[in-house]
Amino acid sequence: MRLLRFVLAAVLGLAVVLAVVPDRSPIVSRPVERLASVVVRGRDGAPPRLALLPTPTTGAADEAVVVFADDLAFEAAFELATPEEVAGLTAPAREGDLGLRQWGERGVDGLVMVQPELAGDRLRVAVRVFDVASGQLAFAREYLGPADAPRTIGHVMADELHAAQANLRGVATTSLAFVSDRSGARHEPTGYLRRVKEIYVADYDGANQRRVTFDGDIVLTPSWSPDGTGLAYTSFQSGFQTVAFAKPGAGRDGRLMVGGKNWLPAWAPDGRRIAFTSNRDGNEEIYVANRDGSGLTRLTRHWAIDTSPAWSPDGTRIAFTSGRSGRPQIWIMDADGANQRQLTDERHCDRPTWSPAPYDEIAYVSRTKTGFNIKVIDVATGVSRQLTNGEGFNESPAWAPSGRHLAFTSTRTGAQQIWTMTRNGERLRQVTRVGNNSMPAWGPLPGT
């Protein structure tokens, strides 16, 4: 539906408010030309090859262009020509300009012209995309926002271009939550010092890292609410595991419930329920409850440990880890606890996370001959593929809301850090670098 709104806005000439910078005015996108229905196509089935031609800029304007280009490179829906490959070529003066032919001769399918303009405390950026084959204008929008928010403007530009030209909802405006001990603080609750861990939030690419919780103790396993306004997490502030809530910019927002130890919360897609692990009845089992703790329901009943719940995108199923077969494995069940069945049969599996639609896959941690690695299994067929290959300890996979990427924890460079990769294990990027960082949670797409 959001893509449809983009298209209608372009056709009707309406301005669209796409992102709100905290405590500042929104970023506004509006069409600047009436367009034919043109989509830039690649050659011989390859992704479209784009050449980015920005106007020379400095400061905030330059940052918006750099972020825009980085977002395009991350999604890889388009191939990007290098400056060396198109050196010496000139920009077309207008639609239908024969000068576009020279770009096609260099293997370029689409020419992206970015023209930023800084006026006081406002930044205006015009983006035009020419289809080289037809000479027509395929995309033309203008973005206006605060001059101190160039990154957000660049992210919005990338997401709109992906929506219009690749039928893709990009993740440029999403966030990553993760656990970090970077403060270096220590706490002594039970006679020995332990490192304080808090939840931090960053842009999907690792920029703007900021602290969310201030428990002064260990916090673990953040889980985004479906609307992206808050996080459920495991807190030890009371002396034992309990499920707590926090909102970025507002801090802690109360506990889920009392009774036993409760941990590993997972929001249901409807945003009203939370699945979690609890030992309130004497054994680690999976429970589900409403946000306020009411409607408590026990879903598993087995002497073995059942833990680490993860909802399917449609909310009808839950994946979890169980030791009932003798070794920790990934199981799935209906959301009411019925039809429990084993999905994996390996040495050791844990921390399932269900991919967004249209895929029906579960990423998880598997103990292989080369150590702990990230795998993905197709729920219908049971066929799995391994994404990491023994470089460090790899755990805690978290899907991007588009299903095209995963965040995960890895020690491949020494300390625990957050990394991202494609759903096929390619294009690895390191997101964090300060302290030890783990247990990523990828936030939802804005407006979902």
CATH number, residue 361: 2.120.10.30
Contact present, 50 and 80 (Cβ < 8 Å): yes
pLDDT for position 8: 32
How many domains is the chain partitioned into structurally? 2
Band (291; pLDDT cuts 50, 70, 90) = confident
> In whole angstroms, what is the distance from residue 149 CA to residue 227 CA?
23
Q: pLDDT tens digit string along 344-394?
A: 999 999 999 999 998 999 999 999 999 999 999 999 999 999 999 989 999
Average pLDDT for residues 40-47, to the nearest whole number? Answer: 94
Asked if residue 447 is part of any domain, the answer here is no
Instruction: Say yes or no to pLDDT of 119 above 90.
Output: no
Same domain, 254 and 158: no
Same domain, 37 and 146: yes
Instruction: Say yes or no to pLDDT of 278 above 80.
Output: yes
pLDDT for position 279: 95
pLDDT for position 96: 64
Q: pLDDT tens digit string along 165-190?
A: 999 999 999 999 999 999 888 876 66
Share of the chain above pLDDT 70, in %: 89
Q: pLDDT tens digit string along 398-413?
A: 999 999 999 999 999 9
Q: Kind and range of the H or E element at 151?
A: helix 150-166
Same domain, 351 and 329: yes
One DSSP character per residue, 226-249 reads TTSS-EEEEE-TTSS-EEEEEETT
Domain assignment of residue 68, given as a range? 2-166
Of 109, 142, 166, the residue at which a domain comes to its end is 166
Asked if residue 109 is part of any domain, the answer here is yes
pLDDT for position 402: 95
Same domain, 227 and 290: yes
Instruction: Say yes or no to pLDDT of 253 above 50.
Output: yes
Same domain, 118 and 241: no
pLDDT for position 347: 96
Residues near 23 by beta carbon (within 8 Å), at least 6 away in sequence: none
pLDDT for position 199: 96
Same domain, 421 and 297: yes
Average pLDDT for residues 218-236, to the nearest whole number? Answer: 94
Instruction: Say yes or no to pLDDT of 45 above 70.
Output: yes
Q: Cα dihedral angle (333, 178, 252, 401), rounded to 10 degrees?
A: -50
Higher pLDDT, 32 or 386: 386
Same domain, 104 and 209: no
Average pLDDT for residues 53-66, to the nearest whole number? Answer: 83
Instruction: Say yes or no to pLDDT of 62 above 50.
Output: yes
Same domain, 113 and 215: no
Asked if residue 448 is part of any domain, the answer here is no
Average pLDDT for residues 198-208, to the nearest whole number? Answer: 97
One DSSP character per residue, 24-48 reads SPEEEEEE-S---S-----STTPPP
